[in-house]
Amino acid sequence: MSTVTIYHNPKCGTSRNTLAMIRNSGVEPEVIEYLKTPPSRETLVSLIAATGQPVINAVRSKETLFTELNLGAPGVTDDQLIDAMLAHPILLNRPIVVTPQGTRLCRPSEAVLDILPQPQQGAFTKEDGEVVIDAKGQRA
């Protein structure tokens, strides 16, 4: 069993880059495609709390449903946001990565570097061509 878990959407470039950086550290994570296997309420609440960020940061505000459901309105509670993410997993901001060093919403993807249990094993360039790790395994 891996000590690293990623809540992943393979259609998301940030999520793909994050997964690739995890693998570039020599770790094969547990990959949870949360659109196919959404987290339970307990798991979702625990993940968000572990990031240390407000619940609203875990919601994809750019998603059309966010506006349709009026989730940005004054007075919307954390419980209402969590209910929306449970009912519509596409609203969950991604990727969320859990390691022994912590839990992060990895936006930008290189935020994962702060919590990986092992250093990068080689150079890494994002899908858009941005160099993140140089040939010496150091942040660019």
The HSE-up count of residue 4 (CA atoms within 13 Å, CB side) is: 25
Q: Is residue 97 within 8 Å of 4, Cβ to Cβ?
A: yes
Q: Which of 6, 12, 82, 133 is catalytic?
A: 12
Give dist(CA 91, CA 69) in Å, integer: 11
- Residues contacting 33, CB < 8 A, separation 6+: 8, 9, 10
User: Has 106 been annotated as catalytic?
Assistant: no
Give dist(CA 53, CA 51) in Å, integer: 5
Give dist(CA 116, CA 43) in Å, integer: 21
29 CB-contact burial (10 Å; exposed 0-12 / middle 13-18 / buried 19+): buried
Catalytic positions are 12
